[in-house]
Amino acid sequence: MQAPPSAPSSRFGITVATAPTATLGTQSQSGQLIANVDLGRGIRCRGYKPRDSTIFVFKLLTATPTRITYAIVDRITNTTAKGIRFCLAATFPFRTASGAPAPSTILPDGTQGHVGLLPRCAHPALPVGLTGRPCVARITTVKDKNSTTGVDVILRVRVPTLTAGDPWGGS
């Protein structure tokens, strides 16, 4: 008897970039990046069935709000790239893949926010800190002999924001 196929699973990585600035005297500040798996409290993007039910929450803690871009890499095993998307939930409004504003919702922490599937980046070659809107920069695959599909799917996502509020995301 053959074993059932393994369920897709994500490995999530995140870094933070700031936009270049020409303002003299702008002070940098340190912060603490917190990224966690958020089990049991999901987000749902209408019409999309996530490949992996794991949701990630991430936040940069700074003394004062700072404009940043989260650069997210989500590597998913046991799935294919066909039809894969990135679902974002955030406290700020953004445009979805359809071009419409992300609908309002109650976020996993009980605050008011927005949720939707991200569009592809209009200019994915731009440096991360220059991205103006949340978007998916790239979707690629790499061979993985341990994956039931023979590949892992890698999503590279950009989420520009202020350092206030916790975004959630998943594929």
Count of the separate structural domains present in the chain: 1
Dihedral, CA atoms, 155, 33, 105, 123, nearest 10 degrees? -40
pLDDT tens for 116-150 read 999 999 888 777 777 789 999 999 999 999 999 99
d(CA 94, CA 135): 10
Dihedral, CA atoms, 62, 111, 75, 86, nearest 10 degrees? -120
Least reliable range by pLDDT among 32-36, 100-104, 122-126? 32-36
What is the mean predicted confidence (pLDDT) over 26-38? 57
Which of 32 and 67 is assigned the larger pLDDT?
67
What is the pLDDT, as a whole number, of residue 15? 72
Work out the pLDDT band at 82, boundaries 50, 70, 90: very high
* Domain assignment present for 1: no
Kindly state the percentage of the chain with pLDDT values over 90.
Answer: 34
Question: Rg of the chain's alpha carbons, rounded to an integer?
Answer: 17
What is the pLDDT, as a whole number, of residue 26? 46
Residue 96 has pLDDT above 90, yes or no: yes
Q: 157 near 134, Cβ under 8 Å?
A: yes
* Domain assignment present for 48: yes
Which of 164 and 21 is assigned the larger pLDDT?
164
How far is the CA of 90 from the CAs of 13, 17, 23, 87, 163, in angstroms?
18, 18, 28, 10, 12
* Domain assignment present for 4: no
Q: 135 near 120, Cβ under 8 Å?
A: yes
**Structural domain for 160, as ranges:** 9-17+31-170
What is the mean predicted confidence (pLDDT) over 35-57? 75
d(CA 148, CA 121): 29
* Domain assignment present for 25: no
Work out the pLDDT band at 98, boundaries 50, 70, 90: very high
State the chain's mean pLDDT as an integer. Answer: 80
* Domain assignment present for 24: no
